[in-house]
Structure 1
Amino acid sequence: MVRPNDPVICGVYSIRCTITGHQYIGSSKHIWRRFADHRGALRAGKGHNKVLQFAWDVFGEAYFIFTILEECPEVALSEVERKYLQGELLFNILKDVENKFAFGEK
């Protein structure tokens, strides 16, 4: 839940499974609100990333950590996110930052 006093943070974040080490990389102009959106969707079984949703369902919420990886200005979001998408053990299906919005990612 986003509280009124939560700072607006723009940047790149991860949702990591502590059991497997796999992580989902995302970016947002308001990370705290995005975390709340992800949690709500995953809890409801409606996460937009089916691989992440499957892992959430198998292991449970207690085994996932939401982390801000890097703060950056909005104009740098794509570049910074692209850097993190070069890693291994990713839940991300799409690694093309420029086209992810066509698939409903925020």
Structure 2
Amino acid sequence: MNKHDRKAMVAAYKEKKTVAGVYAVICNATGQAWVGQSRHIDTQQNGLWFTLRLGGCRTPSLQAAWDEHGEAEFRFEQLDRLPEDASDLIIGPELKRRAELWRARLQAGPLV
């Protein structure tokens, strides 16, 4: 890859729109669910799985279930996505509202 192509790829990455949304992590072995929210829902699973593999998840019940059942028993599901053109002013409150609705619907715990 030449220098020009690399610069073009970096510029395209920086201009890429992020999508905010609500997601769930579900343990197939127990049916337990945890619901969280993210301003970057498309990349959230990678970061969360990384912290779980290292044993550093800030949600103790999720980390305990992960340690007991293993990665293969977990799935990540995007539950709700905000429109790409959503105003920065409404993203935070709207994510919080939608996450609370999904927690109630799934009887899930919160992800910190």
TM-score (ref. length: structure 2): 0.70
Number of residue-to-residue matches in the alignment: 90
SS of the residue corresponding to residue 79 of structure 1 reads helix
Paired with 1:21 and 1:69, the residues of 2 have a C-alpha distance of: 16
SS of the residue corresponding to residue 8 of structure 1 reads coil
1:62 aligns with 2:72: yes
Output the amino acid matched with 1:8.
T
User: What residue ranges of structure 1 are gaps of 5+ in the alignment?
Assistant: 94-104
Render the CA deviation track for 1:18-71: whole Å, top value 9, x for unaligned: 111111100011012221111110000111100000000000000100010011
TM-score (ref. length: structure 1): 0.74
Poorly superposed stretches of 4+, deviation over 4 Å:
none
Q: Which of 73, 77, 80 lines up with 2:95 in the alignment?
A: 77
Distance 1:71 1:44, change over 3 A: same
User: What residue ranges of structure 2 are gaps of 5+ in the alignment?
Assistant: 1-12
1:30 aligns with 2:48: no
1:53 aligns with 2:63: yes
SS of the residue corresponding to residue 87 of structure 1 reads helix
| Aligned 8 A contact 1:12 1:71 in 2 | yes
Name the counterpart of 1:102: none
Considering only CA atoms, is the larger Rg found in Structure 1 or Structure 2? 2
SS of the residue corresponding to residue 21 of structure 1 reads coil
Taking only aligned residues, the RMSD between alpha carbons, in angstroms, comes to 2.1
